[in-house]
Each structure stands twice: as structure tokens, then as C-alpha cells.
Structure 1
Amino acid sequence: MSDSIEPSTPSTSSTNTTAYIHPRREPFEHGLIPIPKLIFSDGTQTLGPLRDKLVERSTQSPNHRVDSIAISDILQISLDHARLVLDTIATVLHSDSDPIVAAKPSEIEEIGVDVNDLVLFLYVQSYKRLLPRTHKDSAAVADVWPSTSAFDGYLSALSPLQLVRSNSRRFMPSQADEEAHQLSYLQKHLANILSLLADSVEESEESLVCLQVINCHESVIYILAPLRYATIYGCSDTTIVLGAVGKAVRVEHCERVHVIVAAKRICIANCRECVFFLGVNQRPLIVGDNHKLQVAPYNTFYSQLEAHMDQVGIEATIK
């Protein structure tokens, strides 16, 4: 979604060229869709897991892309909104070589969209347009016209009649202002964007992570990754599904929690009315003040489970 432009320099300094980057205007000016479920204010925290699901779904497609049905399922939006996402990406995507750009309207659904393009599109949805400079009659505007929308930008600050009557150019941000604002957005979020688009790499045991799920209530949490340790503390009315845990899981002070985990060992302390679906190599350690606990066999599977179990050193006996 951006251009890289190298200024002309003598051949003697070709190894020291400077790259200038400017944002593409189309995704910001024509790609923003006012659908609340497409706005992820926490960035990579939500988009990271969604990207993994989209990548996995794309492997089931012969062209390794995702269609509106996959988008609807994973983003939890209606099919109409998912088709709107596809149509909008086809409109603002720059690369003419991408088949969705040159596709006829009837072909867009069959072709689908590249996952990386979709993730970039979703990240841009959190962009807020540059607000107009304060209008001299802002109080009157507030009385008769809705408050400024993040996606309506300048036009929502004035009613249509006021827009005609006012010298609007004095209040509207210039194109240079808007481009500077877009560039500032990209600079601020570049690290997160790159981390989302980077291919995952195999992790060594030393790089596996110490996970903590603390004080979560009325939630459903999936963490399908190889881990060394996991702590679940102070949760209630929550279902937690963990990937392979190579060392130990500790569940403490939880109430009405369902835990589904494959691990070497698990310690349960001071819990009430919880159900544990366990694939463990050693007998669970249950200590402290516990009431009405149930222990059941491990009962789930995901495509990378056996690989994750091998990675953390758990015998892959679960089928």
C-alpha cells in the first residue's frame, strides 16, 4: 500500500541511496468502511490470532485465498458485509497483477483475497481521519448536526447547508495535512504491521513463553501455541483452550472455569465448580480448598497440535 522512491544519485554513491516512502491515498480515502466489527483498536492483539485463522483457512482453498464465507465466519460479520469487504479491497488494491483487481464483479467471490492484503485492509480500518479545524459556529453545528465521525472526516462537521454557505476551504484540512496525517499513522504502526505480515518461524524451546490468564470473566480464550508454563488465576465462567504446555500449568482461585489443555503436568489449587479436560503425562496435582471439580479426558484437536507437542517434549499419544 506504499511506494518506495529512490532519488537519482551518481553511480559512485549507489550503495548509500535513500528511500522515500509515502502512503497510498486510496485505502485511507476510499477503503474505510463504517462497520464497528472491522475496527480493531487493540491492533495486533486481535488481528494476530485472526490472521492465523485466515492463513489456516486459506490453505483449504486451491488458490490459497479467502472468500466472503471465510471472512464472514472468522470476523463474525454478515455475508453482505464480507462481500462489501471483498469489493472494497478490489477497488483500493494497487497491484494490477492481483486477479481480484481485474476481476469482473461476478468473479470477485470465486477469486477471493490474499490474506496479507486483507490483514492490511483491516489494520487501516482503525485509522482516524484528520479532523477539520474548529468551525466558528461549532455550537450551532452541534445543535443540528451529528457529532464528527471518525470515518466521515471533514464533511460530518458541517451540515450540507452550512457547507454551502461557509467558506469551507478555510476550515478543511489541506491534502498535504491529510497525507502527513496518513504518514504519521503508518510510522506509528509500522512495527505492528510488519509483525503481522511476517511469516512465522520455528521456535526453539528457549523462545517459548512463561503465559498468564488472569482475572478473565465470562470469556472464551483460545491460545493454540507451544508454551513452557501457563498460569490461570482468578477466572470465572470462562472456557480456556491451551496448546501444548511443555513444563506445567497452574490453575488457582478459579470458579466455573473449563480448561482444555495438553501438558506434562498440571496443578489445581483452590478452585470451585471447574471442569478440566486433560491430556497429561502425570497425575494432576489437586491441592488446597477445592469444591465440585470434574476431571475428564482431553477432547479437542487442532492441525498443529502434534507438532506443538513434539516441540515442547510431550509424548504425542493423543489421537
Structure 2
Amino acid sequence: MHIEVRNVSKSFGGNKAVSDVSFSINRGRLIGLLGPSGGGKSTLLRVLAGLETPDSGDVLINGIRMNDLAPQHRGIGFVFQNYALFKHMNVFENIAFGLKIKKAKKSEIQKRVNELLDLTGLRGFEHRYPHQLSGGQKQRVAFARALAPRPELLLLDEPFAAIDAKVRKELRTWLKRLIGTLDITSIFVTHDQDEAVEVADEMLIFQQGRLEQQGTPMSIYTEPQTAFVAGFIGHSSVVEQPNLLRGFERTPIMDGARALIRPEFVEAGRERDIVFPSAAVMGRIRHISFRGAHLELDIQVGDNRFSAHRSLDQEPLRPGEEIFVLIHRLYVVSEKSAVMVENSLKGDPMTFYI
């Protein structure tokens, strides 16, 4: 199934929830809609489902305009954040609901529900009611119910938001495998970056109703196209005067531009820890935080503060200690662009590294 959104806008009162959004998605892709709250993600999902009508623009599925087609005729399955299971129905009946609405034969319903019980790992739970299930099990029932009528497109609105962290991670892995097995085009809304990066084949980054960037998780992380994407994806520190940092003196900075530095762009420690100490500046550790797999250093260099990661295997450092800080690269961002700049001293043949 090929999905195309052309110049779609949707307002509620004076608030423009979706603003002139266009993109296309190929069959079998798992797409993550990512952005801050109020960015327009859920509204766009509801427009695709037919639960909201766009003020302007078109939604096309396999080249057919869907704007005026009722939700039940679009071939779409929808999984809600709060499961939306029927409390008076058991697992089997919940999964079978859409098939009964379509007046499928009893034998067909029995066969399809049994297939989905096996596919979702719910075999043995078919006679239980929602109040007898865990959060993860309820979400699997919601997935199975959405898949029962064999939709060509699956929409998921923050499907793991109501589930605890450990089960959420397990379900993300399960969903990725399930979608790959079914080869069904799927779009899910999330505000969790880790979730989007782990699960999605592609991501659409939204802010204030606008599509900022579309691409693979890797391309969006390494090649952000706007200042918002560069600052939103990953963890970054803002530096107002990057020209004062060693190796970035010649960086062209336009009015209103600033720099973003990610922890992985920074090498910090004692002189023997730094690959090119002559390209480093001196800084001071303000604070050290344990992050599980690594330590995060809060560093002060002049008037600038930013973070760096340090391996647990390296020699311990102390808060207040003066250290060498090598900034390998940074993003220079303006209102509409983000450009990566490398430390010029690392490639300068006149620089002597010791």
C-alpha cells in the first residue's frame, strides 16, 4: 500500500494543528511520527483514519483519494493509547468484533481469531476479560483486534504509553517483528525518541503542525536539516559563541545562529586520555552523573557548558577537576538550517599533536 499526503492542513478554532503537510510512504514500512506534545502527530493520524476531515489537501491510498470516504471503508486498523477494549467481551470476542461487524462467516471468524491468538502470543487467554489481563496483554489484544479484518494500513496512537518501561521495551521488539512478518504498512505516534529509533524504518519529525524532516533514524540523527531537528533529536547543549572554542575560530556564524554540541562530539579527560591534546581546550568538571552504561560529565569551558560521555572503564575523574576538552564537531544552527562543522585543527597540517 502506497500512502500519499498532499498539502494537508487541519485547524481547530484558531489553532492550526496540521499545517500544509506533504509526504509519501511505501508499502510495508513502519513509520514513526515523532515530536513534542501538540505538534500535530495525533491529529494527522486521525485525518489518515478518517476520524477528522482535513480543511485542505488530500489523503491518497494507492492513488485513490480518501478525504470523503468513511473510516470503515478505508481498510485501516487503529490501535488506541488506552486500548479501548470492550470490558464486557472476553479476548476472543474483542478480537472478533471487527469481523462480526463485517458479517464474516462464523468459521472464518474462528479461523482468523485463532491465527491471531497464536501470532500475538495470546493462546490460552481467549476466555479472559480485560480486567484479568496485564497492560502488555491488553495491548496485544488491541493489536489483534485491529489486525483481524486484514487492514492494509495499521495506525497506532502512542501504543505503549500506558505500559511500564520493561514491558514497553519487550513490546517494541515484538511489534517490529510482527510488522515485518505481516508486511503491513504501519504508522505509529510517539514522543519517545528511543522508541522511534528502535522500531521505525523511517521517522517523520513534527513541530507546531509542520513536518520538519522525513528520513531513516540514522539519517535524521546524523544529518538534521533544521535547527529544531538538530536540537530535538538526541541530547544537545547550546553554545552561543562557538567562535571562542579552539578549532572553531573560523566558523561562519550568521546573526541569530548558535551552536549545538552533542555529548558524543566531545572527548574529555586528562591529557593522556585525549587523542589530539593540542587541539583541546581546558575545562572544569561541574558535575558527574551515572547513566548506567557510562558517566555523563557536565563541563564548563569559559562561559559555555556542555556534556560529554566517559566510559566506566576509564580512570575516574572528580567534580571540580580541570581537564582537557576536545570538541570534534558541532552543529551551527539558524532558524531554518543545521550545518555540521568539524574542528579545523584536526585537519590542519601545521598542528603538532603530542
TM-score (norm 1): 0.27
Where relative contact order (Cα < 8 A, 6+ residues apart) is larger, the structure is 2
Structure with bigger strand share is 2
TM-score (norm 2): 0.25
Structure with bigger helix share is 1
